[in-house]
Amino acid sequence: MSSINIKQYLDSTYLKTAAQANLSEAANNKVVQDFIQETIDEGFKLVMIRPDKVQLAKKLISKANSKVLIGTVIDFPDGISELDQKLAEAQQAIENEADELDFVINYQAFQRGEIDQVKKEVIACAKLGLSHKKIVKFIIEVAALTNQQIIQISALIKNTIIANFKEESYFSVFVKSSTGFYKTEEGLPNGATIPTIILMLENANPLPVKAAGGVRTLDEALAMIRLGVKRIGTSAAKTIADGNVSAENY
């Protein structure tokens, strides 16, 4: 397992807006550009960026003749937009040539017991992505959920996909742990932890699982992969790949 190519599991992630990074738009654009270039230079699986940066990534990746994939987030970070807004944002990302779409599922609707709404969202978002041969990921925001809710929403997504799509689609629909932007109290983890990932793996199978947020070291990343995680989202992909410890929380 140690001979694993860790870089092919890493979704190198930069999702801060200029305001969140405390930078001017121009300065933040430069950070994004450098980040995309680092992803290309390092040969990570994918660069995960905001929708308005997808065209920039496409330009840089094409110029470098790189195989790096482009991922973006939809309805980020709260997931509470109306379904038609979610789909419109995803459609635009598809037109801008994103390869993977990470939707924040309306986990608050799920918590309110609005299960049919969540199922409808899963079907519509997966259908749009899969019909354009895109990878689709549903972010469930584990830090906002109880263990029981993590089990239930992972199973809900799995069962909805199995009931509505062909088996060959399953590997293209991920359940993903976190946005990395959820505000927790008392310093509690806001991203993937081993216990939450185990719950997701047990209840999302056969759908693949992506661990995002909180993976800071190569050992942590390898531990997740040994459990069965297929992707890891991190803002510190190079630090992890180099075997160092990241101070970032995403």
Q: Say how many domains are in the chain.
A: 1
Q: pLDDT tens for residues 152-163?
A: 999 999 999 999
176 is catalytic: yes
Structural domain includes residue 248: no
Buried b vs exposed e over 120-130: b needs ≥16 C-beta within 10 Å?
ebbebbbebbb
Mean pLDDT of 17-34: 96
Structural domain includes residue 250: no
| Cβ-contact 11, 236 below 8 angstroms | no
Q: pLDDT tens for residues 116-149?
A: 999 999 999 999 999 999 999 999 999 999 999 9
Query: CATH number for the domain including 32?
Result: 3.20.20.70
Q: pLDDT tens for residues 67-88?
A: 999 999 999 999 999 999 999 9
Q: Which domain holds residue 15?
A: 6-241
Predicted confidence (pLDDT) at residue 40 exceeds the cutoff of 80: yes
Q: Kindly give, in sequence order, each residue whose CB lies less than 8 Å from that of residue 145, ignoring residues fewer than 6 positions away.
A: 107, 111, 153
Structural domain includes residue 162: yes
The strand ranges marked E within the chain are 10-14, 46-49, 69-74, 100-104, 135-139, 173-176, 209-212, 231-234
Structural domain includes residue 152: yes
> How far is the C-alpha of 36 from the C-alpha of 5, rounded, in Å?
20
The whole-number pLDDT of residue 186 equals: 73
The whole-number pLDDT of residue 93 equals: 98
Q: Which of 16, 137, 210, 238 is catalytic?
A: 210
Structural domain includes residue 155: yes
Structural domain includes residue 1: no
Structural domain includes residue 59: yes
**HEC letters along 175-194:** EECCCCCCCCCCCCCCCCCH
210 is catalytic: yes
Structural domain includes residue 133: yes
Q: Which of 102, 134, 137, 158 is catalytic?
A: 102
